[in-house]
């Protein structure tokens, strides 16, 4: 299945993974809730160091599975009968009623698009496919300029209108195609976190495809330790370990999914404004935020903007962001004041 992905599920470009130090005691206590499976074309892990007497691990797992399946039926581009797929298939140009969950995600996406002046855009899917980074796999061929210009005419977040009173949307371009792969996983993480809290679970970690929600403390009664991977294409090493609690985290990166033709590197990250891959030196970015949905979208937006424009926007908006920039000497970290303050 599922949410079409590039930042995105199976081709996850910056792995943010759980840090468990091998140097610690060989016997680590097991989490009463430790649930891992696959959804949205990627994997997920949920951990909780304690459960209230009112629920069991199996009961929580069934509730989580039901929730994720429902979100998949709403927001998948792979399921032809999902709510989002039906919107993409609708070319009547009329107003379309939208469910609460999907409308919330679409509105947040529009907000980040406005904030980033179009660097984040859920209508970019046709351009991603044109460059050969879609679900069919990398094509290793750069498209003609005319084809890029033609697809740009069929995209643009401003072509999606909202009616908040009636909770409806309207596609000004009938063939407008919406892809939520850079925001829906974050929303799903938030919803799983809310489900756990509603069942009396006060300490937990939820991770879906590298997007995380952290609450309370881990089983050692310490902040959760999350490792950000060094953005190197040929190896997997830890760049930085972050001790975190009561916060959400998301990453985006540009070093695993690309192709080269005659020495020219084409990134999988497409700038929706130009219709072409980004060319700057920002290798990866990590965002800390109050919601995973917002962190998810902001990571993509700032990745497109790059280390200079992205950093300026992050500082102006007080976004907690860690930029890892590629230089001739190696990788350089650049964190916003808000990011530093959280880790202080």
CATH number at residue 91: 1.10.3980.10
Spatial contact of 321 and 337, defined as CB atoms under 8 Å apart: no
Q: What's the structural domain count of the chain?
A: 1
Residue 272 in any domain: the answer is no
Write down the pLDDT at residue 140.
Answer: 59
- Mapped onto helix, strand or coil, the DSSP state of residue 116 is coil
Residue 144 in any domain: the answer is yes
271 beta partners: 276
264 beta partners: 261
Write down the pLDDT at residue 10.
Answer: 32
Taking Cα atoms as reference points, which of 140, 155, 190, 169 lies closest to residue 296? 190
Residue 218 in any domain: the answer is no
Which residue has tokens 């001790």?
A: 243
Write down the pLDDT at residue 4.
Answer: 39
**CB burial of residue 330 (10 Å; 0-12, 13-18, 19+):** exposed
- Domain housing 109: 82-171
**CB burial of residue 183 (10 Å; 0-12, 13-18, 19+):** buried
Taking Cα atoms as reference points, which of 213, 215, 210 lies closest to residue 227? 210
Residues 6+ apart with CB under 8 A from 10: 41, 42
- Mapped onto helix, strand or coil, the DSSP state of residue 35 is strand
Residue 305 in any domain: the answer is no
Residue 131 in any domain: the answer is yes
Residue 243 in any domain: the answer is no
- Mapped onto helix, strand or coil, the DSSP state of residue 273 is coil
Write down the pLDDT at residue 292.
Answer: 98
C-alpha 111/C-alpha 123 separation (Å) is 14
Provide the angle, in degrees to the nearest 10, between the axes of the packed helices 184-198 and 100-115. 130
**CB burial of residue 7 (10 Å; 0-12, 13-18, 19+):** buried
C-alpha 253/C-alpha 299 separation (Å) is 9
- In tens digits, what is the pLDDT along the chain, a chain of 344 residues? 344 333 333 333 333 445 444 444 445 679 999 999 999 889 999 999 999 999 999 999 999 999 999 999 999 988 999 999 999 999 999 999 999 999 999 999 999 999 999 999 999 988 888 877 665 555 557 788 999 999 999 999 999 999 999 999 999 999 999 999 999 999 999 999 999 999 999 999 999 999 999 999 999 999 999 998 877 655 667 888 999 999 999 998 864 444 444 444 556 788 999 998 888 889 889 999 999 999 999 999 999 999 999 999 999 999 999 999 988 888 899 999 999 999 98
Which residue has tokens 């919330």?
A: 104
Residue 137 in any domain: the answer is yes
Other Cβ atoms within 10 Å of 100 Cβ, number? 9
Residue 209 in any domain: the answer is no
Other Cβ atoms within 10 Å of 54 Cβ, number? 8
């Amino acid at each position: 299945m599922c949410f079409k992905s590039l930042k995105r599920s199976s081709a996850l470009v910056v792995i943010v993974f759980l840090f468990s130090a091998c140097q610690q005691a060989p016997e680590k206590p097991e989490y009463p809730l430790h649930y891992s499976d696959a959804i949205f074309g990627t994997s997920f892990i949920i951990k909780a160091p304690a459960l209230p007497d009112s629920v069991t691990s199996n009961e929580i797992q069934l509730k989580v599975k039901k929730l994720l399946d429902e979100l998949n039926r709403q927001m998948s581009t792979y399921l032809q009968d999902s709510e989002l797929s039906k919107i993409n298939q609708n070319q009547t140009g009329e107003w379309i009623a939208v469910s609460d969950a999907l409308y919330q995600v679409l509105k947040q996406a529009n907000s980040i698009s406005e904030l980033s002046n179009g660097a984040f855009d859920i209508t970019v899917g046709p351009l991603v496919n044109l460059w050969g980074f879609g679900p069919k796999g990398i094509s290793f061929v750069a498209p003609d300029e005319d084809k890029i210009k033609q697809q740009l005419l069929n995209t643009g977040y401003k072509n999606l209108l909202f009616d908040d009173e009636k909770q409806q949307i309207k596609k000004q371009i009938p063939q407008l195609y919406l892809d939520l792969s850079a925001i829906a996983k974050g929303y799903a993480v938030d919803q799983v976190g809310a489900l756990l809290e509603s069942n009396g679970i006060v300490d937990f970690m939820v991770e879906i495809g590298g997007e995380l929600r952290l609450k309370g403390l881990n089983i050692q009664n310490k902040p959760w330790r999350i490792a950000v991977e060094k953005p190197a294409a040929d190896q997997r090493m830890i760049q930085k370990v972050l001790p975190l609690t009561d916060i959400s985290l998301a990453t985006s990166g540009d070093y695993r999914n690309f192709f080269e033709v005659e020495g020219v590197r084409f990134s999988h990250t497409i700038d929706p404004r130009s219709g072409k891959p980004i060319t700057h030196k920002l290798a990866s970015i990590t965002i800390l935020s109050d919601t995973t949905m917002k962190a998810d979208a902001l990571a993509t937006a700032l990745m497109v903007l790059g280390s200079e424009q992205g950093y300026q926007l992050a500082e102006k908006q007080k976004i907690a962001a860690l930029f890892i920039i590629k230089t001739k000497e190696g990788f350089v970290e650049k964190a916003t004041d808000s990011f530093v303050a959280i880790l202080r």
